[in-house]
Amino acid sequence: MTEQAAAPERELTALEQRFPGVVTLDERKGYEGHIVQADKLIEFATALRDEMGYDYLSSITAVDYLTDDEEAESFFELVYHMYKSTGGAALVFKIQIPRDNPVVDSLVELYPGADFQEREAWDLMGIKFEGHPDLRRILMWDGFEGFPLRKDWKEPYYEEDAKPFGNRWPGGQVYRIEDKNPYGKNNQYPDGFDPSTWKESEDPKLYEVLEKAAMEYSEDIDTEQVVVNLGPQHPSTHGVFRMAVRLDGETIVALKPVMGYLHRNHEQIGERNTFIMNMPFTDRLDYLSSMSNNFGYALAVEKLMGDKATPPERAEYLRVIMAELTRISNHLWAIGFLLNDLGAFFTPALYAIEERELILDIFEAVTGSRMMCNYFRFGGVARDLPEGTEQKIKDLVLERLPRKIDELDLYLTENELIRSRCEGVGVITPEDAIAYSAAGPVLRASGVPYDIRKADPYSIYDEFKFDVAARYHGDVYDRYLIRVDEMRQSLRILQQALKKLPKGEILNGKNPYQVRVPAGEAYGRVEGPKGELGFYVVSNGKPNPWRYHVRAPSFINLTILEKMCVGQKVADVVVNLGSIDIVLGEVDR
């Protein structure tokens, strides 16, 4: 697996000195971080958290290093990205485990935020986490055969390993792949699974977990507990999302989110695609803030490509302008629909969407599409602002939006009904928020002023003056307020950016249709409107990424949903969910 014989002349890193024989530096070209021995993971992670202050587990993912080479060994590699909640660069470490027996210790005890991410790695890559309390499939259903992110797995509409497909040109005879491979004849079930008797509403594994959680709950009077399924079709779940809730009267005893209804195996598609093809696919993750998604992916690949992909100054400014406009439009949407969930039927939502509409008009004029922007390229942006658009943005940012955000503030913030409905509901302590890897507004509303734009600045955010918004009660009301605060800070950034917007090139070099990306790995993360959005990309020098992983903030923020809801009334579930602000395109990927 790893070459244990470290080069003797190299000086040992601090981590290697602290854990002799357990930790070795990852010396593969283009890679960073350390490799930790699999059986010492818990010990190592405990020390990281308690001695070194790496309390925030940002991302866990797995890579399948399958090789045909007889001499090299195939193995799975788990990649962990840790941060300090006080800011700073990442600590990356990896675990290598054999492919025929992929078992590793679970970190859920130490970092509860690992829960969903480990389940995802089990679901898609088939890695067993020893000691995980609830290791069920999370995005796939039980009738799904195999682990789709393994390199030897093939999808039902499989054509070829990598795009571009050979039959498109020059001999392209058109056909519909559904005709060749019709629905119903392309599925395969695990042994002993009968789809005709399987009923989703009676999923035994899910109900078992709910039961287990309910055992810990005790009341003096014996009452019968019931399970209520909220969703997947429910107007307040913001999409096809389901929550299985176990109730004692009106009180929530246990809650398990059920997701994956919109799953399309984004990461597998991404590994079939060439690097540049992934850009429009990232738009479809969090479809309300496609510019931020573009940003994160562009950062990751640019890191791999090095200097030749450094964006020129004007492009950096355009990127920041677009990303901040996205943040405002996303928060307007989030606030509007939080109020909808509270029962203020559509008036606040429509007031908010009016402003979003004007922002989308700008996106349409600049990028050609209102939501699926596909605006970023490696080393810059796709096109410059058309004539008159800069003035339009200025009008909006300097005149209209400040006025309208103040109006929204006047309209909602002090409203007694909203306050009594939101204050003290769904409280998350700062310790919990960090432990559960909550990100973005959810984390900051709990009093942890962690914003990647300040904590680990990317692009040109260090050139702007702005404050990290933070609120300290950690309830739904604060998660509403923080979004208003953040919109104001975004306006501050926008005002500075528009003032300083330089003239010049928008792209570094040419815009080739196939980029050359050197072998290596990179993790690009941005502060998206919903939290830390990270892209982990592994390249092996070929036109397609070897591994492409999305650290989706909506998905990981849901880890804390149960904690938020247990002990409260069932009516608060919808509000709590609304205050996290999820988009199912990103949750299910």
Partner 1 sequence: MFGLGILKGMWVTLTHFVGSFVDDIRWLGRRYYTPEGIAHRTSKDARGVFTVQYPEESLPIPEEFRFIPFLIYDVEEDGSHQDRCTSCGICAKVCPPQCIWIVRTDDPETGRPVPEPAEFFIDIDICMNCGYCAEYCPFDAIKMDHDFELSSFDRHAEHIYNKDKLSKPASYYAGIRPTNYAREEAIKAEKEAKKANR
Q: Which of 281, 477, 480, 536 binds partner 1 (CB under 8 A)?
A: 281
On whether the CB atoms of residues 360 and 405 are closer than 8 A, the answer is no
> Residue 63's closest CA among 135, 126, 111, 105?
126
Among 3, 145, 399, 431, binds partner 1 (CB under 8 A): 399
Our finding on whether 354 is near partner 1 (CB under 8 A) is yes
396 binds partner 1 (CB under 8 A): yes
In the complex, the smallest distance separating the C-beta of residue 164 from partner 1, rounded to whole angstroms, is 4
Smallest distance from partner 1 to CB 483, Å: 17
Helix (H/G/I), strand (E/B), else coil: 193: coil
Q: Which is nearer to partner 1, 126 or 348 (CB)?
A: 348
Residue 135 and residue 116 in contact, taking contact as beta carbons nearer than 8 Å: no
Distance in angstroms (rounded) separating the CA atoms of residues 395 and 555: 35
Phi-psi region of 520 (alpha: psi -120 to 50; beta: other; left: phi over 0): left
Q: Which is nearer to partner 1, 98 or 166 (CB)?
A: 166
Residue from the set 383, 454, 473, 488 that interacts with partner 1 by CB under 8 A: 383
Q: Are 35 and 96 in contact (CB under 8 A)?
A: yes
C-beta closer to partner 1: residue 158 or 198: 158
Q: For the range 460-469, what are the long-range contacts, defined as Cβ-Cβ under 8 Å and sequence gap of 24 or more?
A: 460/313, 460/316, 460/317, 460/320, 461/320, 461/493, 463/500, 464/320, 464/492, 464/493, 464/496, 464/497, 465/492, 465/496, 466/492, 466/493, 468/444, 469/444
Does the protein bind partner 1 through residue 431 (CB under 8 A)?
Answer: no
Member of 173, 196, 197, 218 binding partner 1 (CB under 8 A): 173
Stretch that binds partner 1, among 97-105, 114-122, 417-425, 557-565 (CB under 8 A): 417-425
Give CA–CA dist 335/319, Å, rounded. 24
Report the C-alpha gap between 373 and 322 in whole angstroms.
10
Size of the site for partner 1 (CB under 8 A): 57
Task: Give the one residue of 276, 501, 519, 566 binding partner 1; rule: CB under 8 A.
Answer: 276
CB closer to partner 1, 52 vs 277: 277
Q: How far apart are CA 545 and CA 320, in angstroms?
A: 26
Q: Is residue 414 near partner 1 by the rule CB under 8 A?
A: yes
CA distances from residue 15 to 22, 49, 140, 305 in whole angstroms, order as listed: 9, 14, 38, 28
Whichever of 37 and 511 has its CB closer to partner 1, that residue is 511
Question: Of residues 131, 156, 164, 502, which one binds partner 1 by CB under 8 A?
Answer: 164
Taking the CA atoms of 162, 166, 167 and 172 in sequence, report the sign of the dihedral they define. Answer: positive
Identify which of residues 67 and 514 has a Cβ nearer to partner 1 in the complex. Answer: 514
Check the CA dihedral 368-372-373-378 and report its sign.
negative
DSSP category for residue 501: -
Q: Does 358 bind partner 1 (CB under 8 A)?
A: yes
228 belongs to the binding site for partner 1 (CB under 8 A): no
Q: Is residue 165 within the footprint of partner 1 (CB under 8 A)? A: yes
If the CB atoms of residues 164 and 502 are measured against partner 1, the closer one turns out to be 164
In 3-state terms, what secondary structure has residue 48?
Answer: helix
Separation of alpha carbons 79 and 59, rounded Å: 8
Does 169 help bind partner 1 (rule: CB under 8 A)? Answer: yes
CB of 506 to partner 1, least distance (A): 13
Minimum CB distance to partner 1 smaller for 368 or for 518: 368
Q: Tell which one of 8, 20, 21, 170 touches partner 1 (CB under 8 A).
A: 170
Angle subtended at Cα 566 by Cα 562 and Cα 567, rounded to the nearest 5 degrees: 170
In terms of CB distance, is 60 or 381 closer to partner 1? 381
Among positions 359-378, residues that touch partner 1 (CB under 8 A) are 361, 364-369, 372, 374
The token pair at 221 is 């009077």
Residue 357 near partner 1 by CB under 8 A: yes
Tell which positions 329-348 bind partner 1, by CB under 8 A: 347
Does 498 participate in binding partner 1 (rule CB under 8 A)?
no
Which residues form the interface with partner 1 (CB under 8 A)?
163-165, 167-174, 176, 273-274, 276-281, 347, 351, 354, 357-358, 361, 364-369, 372, 374, 382-383, 386-387, 392, 395-396, 399-400, 407, 410-419, 511, 513-514
